[in-house]
Structure formats: C-alpha cells, structure tokens
Structure 1
Amino acid sequence: MRPLVDGQPAFRRLCEAIDAARQSVWATVTFMWPTFQMPDRRGSALDVLNRAADRGLDVRLIFWRPDPETASLKTNAFWGSPEHFALLNESASGCRIRWDRAQPGYCQHQKSWLIDAGTDTETSFLGGINLNPHSMVSSGHQGEGQNHDVYIELVGPSAVDVHHNFVQRWNEASERHLIDGRWGPGSETDLPFPNRVPPARGNAIVQIQRTIHGGRHADGHASPGGLPFDISAGEQSNFEQYLAAIDGARSTVYIENQCIDVPQIIDSLRLALHRGVAIVAVVPAEGKVSEELASLGKFEKFTLAGLAGLGDDGKRKPVWVHAKLMIVDGEWGTVGSCNLHRYSLFGNCEMNAAFWDRDTARALLSELLQEHLATDTARMDDHVALELFRSIAEQNRQHFEADEHAWQGIAFSLLPPPIS
C-alpha cells in the first residue's frame, strides 16, 4: 500500500495507473466539477476516462445523484442533468455509467477507483479527494482556496473488497432502471461478484470498512473468503474501527479530519487523554469547531491545529483540511472518505482502508509532518513527533496573533496560548 498526499501527486499516480490498465477502470464519484483538470495537461477526468474507453477498456462509473434534501449540492456533482448528457454525447463517451441516490438527506460519499478488477494486478485507490480544482495542489504548496487531502493506493488481497463494494453498488444503483439513470451500451447489465482474492503484496495488514445506511442494499453476497453479511441492515464498521482504535491507543493519536463532532468519538478522545495519550487533531482553520472538541484543550497533551500556507502576497492563507485519516501509536492507521460527523458515520455511503503496519504508518506520519512542520521527524518516535508538533503549532499561533507570516511550516494552534 502507498499513501498519496495531496491532489496533484495522487491524481498523477492515478492517471499513470489508468494509462497502464489492460482490462478495466471503475470508479465511484461524489463530486466532479466541469472545470476540474487532471495534472500534466491530460484534460478533464472525463477526457482521461473516455480515452481509456476508446482503448477498449471496460470503464464504469457510479455517480451520486442528490435528492431534494441535498439539491444544493447538485452544482458540484455530475448528477445526470440534460447538460451532463449533452457533454457525454458531444464527447461520444464510451463509459458505462449508473447514477445512485443515497438515503434521503445523505450522500453517496465514496471516492474510489479500481483498475483491472478481478486480475492479479487489481489496484485500488481510495480516500477523500474530489474531482474539483481546489484539490489540485502539489504536496507542501497549499495556498488560499486549496484543499489538503490524502488518497491511498492498494494492491493485494484488500483490493477484492473494493471490487466487491463496486459490484454491490453497481447492481443495486437506485436509478439504474430509469431512462436518465444510466448511460452507455452495457450499462443495463449487472456485474458478477468477485470470486478470487489477489495474491499478497507487501507486509501491511489492510482491512476495508464502510458506512452503509440500512435499506440501501439487499444482496449480502460474501466477498471471497468471507461470510455473507446482512447489508440490508446497514454497516457502521467505520464508526466501530475509529472507536476501537482510539480506545486501544497507548501513546498517540494523530487525526486529520474535516469535522469532528460526534459525541462518542470526542468522549473516547477524552478518555485517551486521561490515560496520558498525546492527541493532535488537524481540522479546517475556518471550520466550525464544536465546544466539546475545544474543551479537550484543557488537557496538556491535546493539540487542535489548522493549516495556513503563504499566499502570493506573502500573507498566511487558510488551507481547507479535507483529509480523513487517523494514525494511532505510529503503528495503525486509516485513510478514506469518512468524516467524524454523524453524516459520514451513520448515514452516508463511505469507505476507508485501515492498515496495521509500523513502516507504513510512520512513513505517512513523517510525510504529513514534513509538510505541516517543515521538519524531518522520520527518526523520532511518534510521541516525540507529536510533542514537536504541539510546540511548533503553539509558536505559529503566537506569530498568527501578531500578524507575522514567517512561520515554520504551515500548522498553527487553534486554541489560545496557555496562560503562563
């Protein structure tokens, strides 16, 4: 497995995988802006996918279609409007598409890609990065209006569960029987579930988990090597994994998330702080922070931080933290689409990859801290690294309050400085 920090490196690697694909490219997409362009002058995401289809690959896409309760989000979604169908017609798109609604009021929020499904080289990408211009940032060069985010690339047995998820969603996509609910010859046919597990690659133990609202799917067909699962009742394994990981933390918890406001998660963080665990939570500097999360600031080992890069005018500009990841004790981690709010944990359709491998976890933590602190922490243990994060973030907070822009890195504390 390989983490891919920020949009430009992630999409460059994804495009390389698409170019090398021999059989298929499948994706679940939440948001796709018409102005989004892939790196290196490859054109739009649809351009890249159309070229793959023109090569004879089986290109399948599941797009979210908002319902009336989420209609305000249609602007950023490729939801199957007449304009979207006109674009598909104009480009003579060979993609096969199905549209899918979520539980009313929620979102089909998975962002996943699967290359050459069912083969020994089956490769998946998943995370939180949307197909919008704000995502197209190079690692370490964030500025105003840009997002910090993470994808993860997986090759090996875990990819079969990404495959299984796609088939389950494709076959039961809510709009599949409507005239405007699908596109392309072959989009009317269902897919067989995977029946073989790709060979092991690397040393990381990886598990795919999801949020699925009850009543959205009926076919609980088992993934290869697994057991049938009553998916009709829904799935909350993202929530269960987050709680289990925090409750099991012995030394550190590092979180990057767009929103942390679920009481059970904050209660678990509080209990971890009582055990002496050091916690760093990186959230959007301009986002709304719940009182419950901010109240953890009374603990000496809790750091709440945002990110601010240097703009062209030499002043600090907020960077939107769109990543959804957690690293525990420098050994276990999770990356995906799942925010720590009630929508992602209990109602949206979400997918994360959790991994247990010290080398991978420490490599990801070191890469993130190199970007946020402009410091190499690769040789530090996780506790020392997070203590350094706290120190630099508090120093940068003082610079922020003094309207000084010469910081070390881009992280700064969102809590007032301690009273001396």
Structure 2
Amino acid sequence: MNLLRLPSLARVALVLGLVLLAACSSLPTIVPDMAHRPARPVQIDGARGPLSAAHSKAILERLEASGKETNIFDLHLAIEEAVVGSPLTAGNQVELLQDGPRTYQAMFAAIDAARDHINMETYILEDDEVGQRFAATLIAKQQAGVQVNLIHDSVGTLGTPPKFFTRLRDAGIQVLEFNPVNPLTAKAGWEVNQRDHRKLLVVDGRIAFLGGINISSVYSGGSFKRPTPVRPGGQLPWRDTHLRLEGPVVAELQKLFIGTWAKQKGPALTPRHYFPPAERKGHEVVRAIGSSPDEPYSLIYATLISALRSAQTEIWLTNAYFVPDQQLLEALKDAVARGVDVKLVLPSSTDSWLVFHAGRAHYTELLQAGVKLYERRDALLHVKTAVIDGVWSTVGSTNLDWRSFLHNQEVNVVVLGSGFGDKMRAAFQADLAQSNPISLASWQRRSLAVRAKELFGRLWEYWL
C-alpha cells in the first residue's frame, strides 16, 4: 500500500501498468454448505506430530469450555479441515506486540541470539535508520556463520537503492527479489501485479514474527504515548500489531518462506537445520495461513468469512485498508441482524488516499445496517487484526481489501481460545478509546468534495 511513496510520474506509470496487466480474478463464493461436508475428527498437531483423536478432542473441548457459548469452532474447524497443508498446532506461545519500538526490540533480540539461520520476508525494507540497523545486524550474523536468507518485494522496495541490497549480497546474505518490476531480471515469469505483502521473520526454525510491521523508520515512535508523539516533519506515529511465536506452528511458517523461495526460483538455500525438532512452548492452539494468488482462492478470506458467519456475540475488526467486497459486507450486516456486536476501528489518516476513500464509500451501507464504525485518531493505523466472540483471533499482513485477497501473498495466524482472545479484546478497546465514532447522521453531512473522492476511489478498488 505504499505506492504513494513513489514520485508522481512513476506512481502513475506503475498503476496504469498494473491495471493493464491485472487478470480478472474474482473472490470465491463461500457458501454455508462448506460447513456441512462429511464430518471428520479435527486433527491437531503437537510438538511430536499429530495428536491422538482423543487428545485433539480434549483440546477442542477445553477451548470451547473456556469461551462464551458459541458454535464458532464447529464451522471454523470444518473449514480448517477442508484446507490442505496447514494443520492446527498445539503447544505454542504467542506474544502480542504493539507498535514498532517494542516489535523491533524483540526482533533484534531474536536475531542476536540466532545460531543457525535467519529467514526474513518483507514487503518494505527502507534505506533509513531502521533499515540500516537491520542490515548491519544481519550482516554481522552472516559474518558470524549464521546463514541469512532475505526475500523483499520489488514494488515495496522500489525506493530502496540497489546498493543497499548489493551490500547484503557482498556480505554473503542470499537476497531474492520477489516478482521484479524489471522483466529482464524475473526468473519465475513476470507477474508484476502479484506482490509479496508478507512480513515474516523465522529465526533458527524456532522463533517466528509476523504481522503488519515493515522495516521502516515510520515505526520509530509508539502510538499510545501522551501527549501524542509526532515524528520529524510533523508526521503521525504509525499504529501496528505484530506477533512473536514459538512452538510447532513455526515449522508451518518456515514452510511458507521456503515455498516462496522455491516458487521464485531463488538460488539453492545453504543447508541448515531449517526444521529442528518441534518443542512445546506454551498452551496456544494456532494455525498458520498463507495465501497466494497462485492458489484457487484466498485461504485467509475463506477462513475469515466462515468465522464472521458463525459469530454469536462480537465481531471486532481493526484494519488499515478496508475496501470490502459484497460478500464481506453481507457477512458483517447479517451478523448485526442476528444480534452480534459488530465494531470496526479504521484509520482517520492514511498513506494511501485512494484506498482510504474507496473504503469510506461503503460507510453509509454499513452504518444503515447497524455496524459501528470508529476512526483512530492521533496515529496512522496500519493494524490488520480481528477478534470474534473473544475466542477466535487473527493477526497478520492481510488487509480487508481486494488486493490482499486476490493479488498479494499474505500470511496470518489464527489463535483459538479466550486467553489470547482477552489480550486481543484489550488491545481493541485501547484503540477504541482513542478513536472517534462515526454516526450515520454526521456521515450524511459530509461534503460533496469528500463524496467525489469516494466515487473516484471506488472505481479503482479492485486494483488498489
């Protein structure tokens, strides 16, 4: 979503190019019948491989007992079982990280402690103070004998000088550019409209980080300090969410990284212990979900729609780039109609005004249906999270827009249970306390100029 960082002529040329090259993909129709396929026992993987049917059943019963009365597990787990290759995993530890300073501190601690390898995949990696610190730290680990492998998106790093990556390569780091803008350097076919929007770091195959945070100095300040901190140039701090994970789920995230490396025809990975024996690190049941435009449909989208449709009490979404399709809109409105408390925290400031106004074009329909909308003030919201019924949570790189669901590689995790759900609810409520409610009456009084921007943004929503 950082096309607006580019010079105006380059931005226009790139957007036009993407429009011309974009395939007419469509979102899958998720029908209720998907939940009524032949019943099979839900299988959960632990540190030593698949758990017994009895053990898996006991874990699921504990999760259901820990939450409010809800049937979200029945529908969600049926969808989970229909998706091949990414099991529910037990025995994980999940730490919720908010904003850049705390996240970078945890990431640097893990990198500094690395002994075997570091696999990093990011959309944006800027040549600024934060990017330079990451570069220096990764180079130091490579020189100490730790193999560093880096995937960076071509469009996301379009403003990063080539010499930045040359320095990394010269130090022995394996660097792979995802879907290069320059077709002469593309090794896996030229699909410039397909972007790698993931933010994933795997250290020694044991610790993983993912979420919405890129590598950039825009994250140099926190977003909850008083008074509101302002970055140099008068810019607002960025509000974002990331996760630190340990346990069996890390192997699933490692598979996603290596799969992308292989599909992009990267050089042979230096042999390392990419899949060490899994260890139980906590009590969370987690599923890693990677989506790619190469697949028939977005697994993250299908999982989210199923969770929304089975919600019984609460749907609390926080998202930076909200440009919903009709099926997502209907899922939210239908939830309100059956008595679910549906709240969305969205940005009041943005780095992508087309997306911002395209999303606002849907406000009237949502407000009329009873969906409660709020806009986060005093920060640039970049969060991509959801907590449903206090027991189903997701954090990752996926926005609620067409680009994330159709054109991008994304990665999220779903965490089941009220323990982590309580932390997600508290984070949502903290953002809610620093947000302005949007009423239908006030929204209907917006200016003609604002309405014109919404109309223009909506014309482009498929490609944004």
Shared fold (TM-score greater than 0.5)?
yes
Supply the AA of the counterpart residue of 1:31: I
1:264-300 deviation per Cα after TM superposition (whole angstroms, max 9, x unaligned): 1111001101011111111111322343343211244
1:9: which partner in 2? 102
1:55: which partner in 2? 144
CA contact (8 A) 1:258 1:321 kept: yes
1:167: which partner in 2? 258
- 1:23-38 correspondence runs (5 A): 23-37=116-130
* Counterpart secondary structure, 2:280: coil
User: Structure 1 pair 82/203, CA: closer, same or farther in 2 (3 Å)?
Assistant: closer
2:368: which partner in 1? 298
Counterpart Cα distance in 1 of 2:402 and 2:332: 16
Q: CA deviation at 1:85?
A: 4.4
Counterpart Cα distance in 1 of 2:271 and 2:154: 21
In the alignment, structure 2 segments of 5+ residues that lack a partner are 1-93, 181-190, 350-355, 445-464
* Counterpart secondary structure, 1:47: helix
1:239: which partner in 2? 301
Determine if the alignment matches structure 1 residue 264 to structure 2 residue 327: yes
2:435: which partner in 1? 411
* Counterpart secondary structure, 2:365: helix
Supply the AA of the counterpart residue of 1:250: Q
CA contact (8 A) 1:8 1:139 kept: no
Higher helix content, 1 or 2? 2
Counterpart Cα distance in 1 of 2:157 and 2:145: 31
| Larger RCO, structure (CA 8 Å, separation 6 or more) | 2
Supply the AA of the counterpart residue of 1:257: N
* Counterpart secondary structure, 1:137: coil
TM-score (norm 2): 0.65
- 1:20-169 correspondence runs (5 A): 20-37=113-130, 44-66=133-155, 74-76=157-159, 78=160, 82-88=162-168, 92-101=170-179, 103-117=191-205, 122-141=206-225, 143=230, 144-169=235-260
Supply the AA of the counterpart residue of 1:277: V
CA contact (8 A) 1:210 1:352 kept: yes
* Counterpart secondary structure, 1:152: strand
Counterpart Cα distance in 2 of 1:307 and 1:238: 25
Counterpart Cα distance in 2 of 1:93 and 1:414: 52
User: Structure 1 pair 99/250, CA: closer, same or farther in 2 (3 Å)?
Assistant: same
User: Structure 1 pair 10/201, CA: closer, same or farther in 2 (3 Å)?
Assistant: same
> What is the aligned-residue RMSD (CA, Å)?
2.4
Q: CA deviation at 1:171?
A: 1.9
Counterpart Cα distance in 1 of 2:403 and 2:218: 22
* Counterpart secondary structure, 2:394: strand
TM-score (norm 1): 0.71
In the alignment, structure 1 segments of 5+ residues that lack a partner are 67-72, 177-186, 215-232, 310-318, 374-409
Q: CA deviation at 1:135?
A: 1.9
Determine if the alignment matches structure 1 residue 285 to structure 2 residue 348: yes
Mean alpha-carbon deviation: is it higher for 363-372 or for 248-257? 363-372
Counterpart Cα distance in 2 of 1:130 and 1:247: 31
* Counterpart secondary structure, 1:44: helix
1:354: which partner in 2? 414
User: Structure 1 pair 291/241, CA: closer, same or farther in 2 (3 Å)?
Assistant: same
Counterpart Cα distance in 2 of 1:194 and 1:83: 29
2:315 to 253, 272, 277: 253
CA contact (8 A) 2:127 2:164 kept: no
Counterpart Cα distance in 2 of 1:10 and 1:104: 30
